[in-house]
Structure 1
Amino acid sequence: MLQWTLDEVAAATGGTVHGDGALTVTSVSTDSRAVAPGSLFVARRGEHFDGHLFVAAAVAAGAAAAVVDGDAAVDLVPRIEVSDTAVALRDLGAYRRRQLTMPVVAVTGSTGKTSTKDLLAAAIPGAAASPRSYNNEVGVPLSVLGADDGATALVLEVGSRGRGHIAWLMPALEPDVAVITNIGVAHLETFATVPALVEAKWELVQGLGAGGTAVLPADDPRLRMSHGASTVTFGGPGADVAVERLRLDGVGRPRFQLRTPSGSVEIALALSGAHQATNAAAATAAGLAIGTDLATLASGLEAAQPSPQRMEIHRGRFTVVNDAYNANPDSVRAALRTVAVMPGRHLAVLGMMAELGPIEAEEHRAMGAEARQLGYTAVVVVGDDPGIAEGAGDLAVVVPDQAAAAVAVTGMVAPGDVVLVKASRRVGLDRLAALLAKAAAP
């Protein structure tokens, strides 16, 4: 358990203590609604809020002290004043990282980060992992700060919205193993070009020490750059950890043989989607790299459960596949293809994919066309549509909002049908998926 004096916190952040420097804190929070007694509240300034406005509420809820910007005019005692609370949070994560002795695995990529992180955390007995999708400049330090000393490994999800983001986080990461799941076109609006995206993700590998391991997809030549650590590849034939004899059951769950340098093993996942086999291969490569035996990894992988809103299946009079957490071209294709192998008629409820920049119209047309080619009965397009309906042709039913989508779907769905719900998070189709799942209940 974390046990720091305010003097230690000040030394780690370059801050100044106002009050008793010998006072101890036992956890760190940036959310005044979630502080625990004895915690340290870091008052970050965000895009839509200013944590300094909630310092008093955090203290009232039990926080022992706060880290604040020196120019914020907070006179609470005890406090630590710093030049930038965002940097201070990262530096606290770095201080905690230097105290941890377990191996650290960091996972990035365009898609599959959360699933791979969840699979690996399930596969290693006693591992700690980033909660939910804590993968940014706030979530990564908080995940490190929350790691228990007794964990056997720490698995961190790492996102990036531009060059330098992962490098900036590296003091809090210092991974022993760096996993890049894939390079797609997610967030292309932010990165502008695919080479810039590759460069940004590669920062994770560049942060490895000489004894580290890079776990990389075997089929992507863009990730064959030189680096100072060792490399293990995953994917299809020819990879160090290879997926073979892949097949799917009636709800799209993959069963496959995994061939590794430590032998081969048959695995049946509880997660739906052929792409989950590749995620499992990446997780296995990382687990082997930190010394976990293959049999243990295989057992844990089979026990892994899907995260909410990621190919989450609700079975009833009809089946609802809630994949509404987020969307990009690769994940939409994977979801559409997975649902297409399930028995019954298939309906897709789709919303826009965000942050695609210049390829937005092209990729949305491709989304609708994919559903059409796979034999979907209908494509319900919710809200703003950059091209889904055009690609789907006469299968498209365009509605302005979720209420209208619910009416449209319930009016056309029949017993035994399968309904996929997917869009970027900002569209908020998770609420519609929950409503449809309730309607499907027997």
Structure 2
Amino acid sequence: MPDPHAALPFAATVHPQARPAARLTWDSREAGPDVAFAALPGEKMHGNRFVEAALDAGAPFVLTDLDVPRAVRVPDAWAALKAWAQTERAKNRQVVGITGSAGKTTAKAYAAAALDAHFMPVFNTQPAIACFLIECGASDRPLVVEMGIDRPGEMAELVELVRPDVGVVTAIGPAHLEQLGSVENIAREKGEILRGVRGLVGAQAAPFYPGAESFGFGAVTHAGQDLKVTPQGATFTFDGVEVGLPLAARVQAEAAVLGLTLAREAGLDLPAAAARLAQVSVPGGRYRVHAGRFTVIDDAYNASPVAVSAALNALHALPGRRISVLGRMLELGDTERQLHAEVGQEARARADLTYGVGAFAAELGERAHATVPELTDALLAEVQDGDVVLVKASRGISWTAERRAQEGVGLDVVVDALLQWRDSAK
């Protein structure tokens, strides 16, 4: 519990009305009677602009340089937040840091379940991680932290903040190329998480890190055995323990192997860890399977070539007419057309019917549509009972709805339309 009246690792003037909070956020919209607010500098504006709104919402305290009620007054809110986070993190016995070009959130969920750990919420930015460490660092349960980057040097900053005891790289592939430049740079930057700590890498990432211990299936250091994937989910064994993951595919099974590897090394009961794994529910948009008259695989939260490839492999393993619905992948730099064409070629090999939308629609699918509404109309007219439909693209979360529709991103609206039509049709 963030307590402004406890011993703080930075110089601060604490207003007498400031009180402990259950949570701490950098987003003023989340502030409330139990949620304090850290007013941080942003790309477009400073959090100080929202201090009054946070106080009006009942925030127990605000971390700021302003002289306001319930203030924890500091010269530099971001420096204070980092120092506080590092102090609280130091109280925890095991912190697992997870990065990768794809599969971070899935690996986080399964590792945390196996370890019975606290884990990061959806956001994986530095302010989000700092707030998480302040809230949970002193817990007697382990922590699992998702660590995403999109620029050179950022992983080193995250490692300094989190100081993981175990570093994990799930997969390596082209993502954020506009800032990171090449896959080799991505591997080097993400590899910072492995330096000087217990390191584990997914089977796909293993060739980038010779000598590192690997996890997954097949020729890896820590392997699950007898993997079987059906429409009902994935099953395998690990160290003699049977594992069943409802509505899961290979990527989820590999994440479960990671979790069981960590649980075994922590001396935890593996059957109990496997039982927790069976209860994992990942956030919407991350390979969430909606079964029914036809099946919709909602993998629309984000996309990169390596992530789309994994999703297409999962689609190919399922029975029924397989339909891929792919949109634009962002931040791929000068090679984006080539990368979209390569993904589209793989889609044609893995799916029975392929749709593309947006700027690279023709590269992504045989049935190409300029806009998301056009795609949606065509798809609803085509889908039949027994089909399996995979939907995946980047989000373009900061764009307007009109721009997302034109560029072929943010395909969660397509998922919603499919489910609504399926569940309402007689």
Fold similarity call, TM over 0.5: yes
SS at structure 2 position matched to 1:405: helix
Deviation at 1:291, TM superposition (A): 2.8
Cα distance in structure 1, aligned partners of 2:153 and 2:263: 27
Q: Which residue of 182, 185, 199 maps to 1:214?
A: 199
Q: Percent identity, aligned pairs only?
A: 33
Gaps of 5+ in 2: 397-408
Matches within 5 A, 1:187-266: 187-206=176-195, 208=197, 213-217=198-202, 220-224=206-210, 232-250=213-231, 253-258=233-238, 263-266=239-242
Cα distance in structure 1, aligned partners of 2:60 and 2:226: 56
Q: Is the 8 A contact 1:215 1:285 kept in 2?
A: no
Which residue number in structure 1 is paired with residue 38 of structure 2?
Answer: 42
Cα distance in structure 2, aligned partners of 1:295 and 1:350: 38
Deviation at 1:137, TM superposition (A): 0.9
Cα distance in structure 2, aligned partners of 1:195 and 1:337: 24
Cα distance in structure 2, aligned partners of 1:35 and 1:114: 25
Q: Is the 8 A contact 1:105 1:179 kept in 2?
A: yes
Q: Which residue of 47, 51, 59 maps to 2:47?
A: 51
CA 414–222 in structure 1, closer or farther in 2 if over 3 Å, else same: closer
Q: Is the 8 A contact 2:152 2:179 kept in 1?
A: no
CA 103–271 in structure 1, closer or farther in 2 if over 3 Å, else same: farther
Aligned letter for 2:357?
V
Deviation at 1:17, TM superposition (A): 1.7
Deviation at 1:431, TM superposition (A): 1.9
Q: Which residue of 110, 129, 136 maps to 2:119?
A: 129
Cα distance in structure 1, aligned partners of 2:332 and 2:249: 23
Which residue number in structure 2 is paired with residue 179 of structure 1?
Answer: 168
Cα distance in structure 1, aligned partners of 2:184 and 2:75: 34
Q: Deviations over 1:101-123 (max 9, x none)?
A: 34211111111111011011222
Cα distance in structure 2, aligned partners of 1:182 and 1:344: 29
Q: Deviations over 1:360-419 (max 9, x none)?
A: 111111121112112422x2222222xx51354xx223132x222221111111222222
Matches within 5 A, 1:18-167: 19-20=15-16, 23-26=18-21, 27-37=23-33, 39-69=35-65, 74-98=66-90, 100-125=91-116, 127-132=117-122, 134-147=123-136, 149-167=138-156
CA 280–137 in structure 1, closer or farther in 2 if over 3 Å, else same: same
Aligned letter for 1:301?
L
Q: Deviations over 1:189-221 (max 9, x none)?
A: 22112232122212222263xxxx212235624
CA 179–375 in structure 1, closer or farther in 2 if over 3 Å, else same: closer
CA 250–101 in structure 1, closer or farther in 2 if over 3 Å, else same: closer
1:282 aligns with 2:258: yes
SS at structure 2 position matched to 1:255: strand
Q: Is the 8 A contact 2:102 2:171 kept in 1?
A: yes
SS at structure 1 position matched to 2:308: helix
Which residue number in structure 2 is paired with residue 5 of structure 1?
Answer: 5
Which residue number in structure 1 is paired with residue 380 of structure 2?
Answer: 410
CA 240–294 in structure 1, closer or farther in 2 if over 3 Å, else same: farther
Q: Is the 8 A contact 1:44 1:85 kept in 2?
A: yes
Which residue number in structure 2 is paired with residue 384 of structure 1?
Answer: 359
Structure 1 vs Structure 2 CA RMSD: 2.4
CA 233–347 in structure 1, closer or farther in 2 if over 3 Å, else same: closer
Q: Is the 8 A contact 1:389 1:396 kept in 2?
A: yes
How many pairs does the alignment contain? 410
Aligned letter for 2:192?
E
SS at structure 2 position matched to 1:309: coil
1:170 aligns with 2:159: yes
Q: Is the 8 A contact 1:170 1:207 kept in 2?
A: no
Q: Is the 8 A contact 1:313 1:322 kept in 2?
A: yes
Aligned letter for 1:135?
N
Q: Is the 8 A contact 1:333 1:367 kept in 2?
A: yes
Gaps of 5+ in 1: 226-230
Which residue number in structure 2 is paired with residue 228 of structure 1?
Answer: none
Which residue number in structure 2 is paired with residue 320 of structure 1?
Answer: 296
Q: Is the 8 A contact 2:13 2:74 kept in 1?
A: no
CA 173–383 in structure 1, closer or farther in 2 if over 3 Å, else same: same
1:302 aligns with 2:287: no
Cα distance in structure 2, aligned partners of 1:167 and 1:306: 28
CA 371–217 in structure 1, closer or farther in 2 if over 3 Å, else same: closer
1:425 aligns with 2:395: yes
Deviation at 1:279, TM superposition (A): 1.8
Cα distance in structure 2, aligned partners of 1:51 and 1:332: 36
Q: Is the 8 A contact 1:163 1:199 kept in 2?
A: no
Cα distance in structure 2, aligned partners of 1:29 and 1:303: 28
Q: Which residue of 360, 383, 396 maps to 2:367?
A: 396
Cα distance in structure 2, aligned partners of 1:322 and 1:218: 24
Cα distance in structure 2, aligned partners of 1:97 and 1:375: 46
Deviation at 1:355, TM superposition (A): 1.3
Aligned letter for 1:433?
V
Q: Is the 8 A contact 1:181 1:282 kept in 2?
A: no
